[in-house]
Amino acid sequence: MSKITQGFFKGDKTIYINQISAIQVKPGTLLINGYIQITVPGGLESKKGILDATQDENTVIFTKKDNELVYQIKAKIEELMSQQHATYTANQISSADEIRKYKELFDDGIITKEEFEQKKKQLLGL
């Protein structure tokens, strides 16, 4: 269906899970197609329904018979987003713990201030 509304020659687009800020599904009915819309930061997705959604590059149009499949896709994307968020949070906590350990080493005179600052920047990704 998206080939009809978006055209055959636009090509493929990859949106990575960590780029997704929201996902919306409008189920299809007997008379109106549905759509699944991926929102990314800085994206210009339409907010005016199916007619504008047909012009949005982050929207896929589908018919009523695909409603269940689309909800499964949405659930999987949300699951992956949740897992990624949990991993990110765990990494942040881990980095904070590591910085505390290096701060103790600095306070105890085992490492220099420069070594502590260098390690802190490394752990914070600066």
What residue segments make up the domains of the chain, in order of their start? 2-124
Instruction: State the pLDDT at residue 109.
Output: 92
Residue listed under structure tokens 């949405």: 74
The tens digit of pLDDT for each residue in 3-26 reads: 554 555 566 778 888 888 889 999
- Degrees to nearest 5, angle at CA 80 with 76 and 86: 145
Determine the average pLDDT of the residues in 56-63: 86
When the pLDDT of each residue in the chain is averaged and rounded to a whole number, the result is: 82
Residue 61: other Cβ atoms inside 10 A: 22
For the entire predicted model, the pTM comes to: 0.55
CB 53 within 8 A of CB 59: yes
Which is more confidently placed, 54 or 102? 102
How far apart CA 109 and CA 104 sit, in angstroms, is: 9
Token reading at 61:
């149009």
Which is more confidently placed, 50 or 93? 93
Is residue 64 scored above 80 in pLDDT? yes
Residue listed under structure tokens 């007619």: 51
CA distances from 105 to 28, 77, 122 (A): 61, 42, 16
Instruction: State the pLDDT at residue 11.
Output: 67
Q: Parallel, antiparallel, or unpaired: how do β-strands 22-26 and 59-62 relate?
A: unpaired
Which is more confidently placed, 31 or 47? 31
The tens digit of pLDDT for each residue in 65-108 reads: 999 999 999 999 999 988 888 777 777 778 888 888 999 999 99
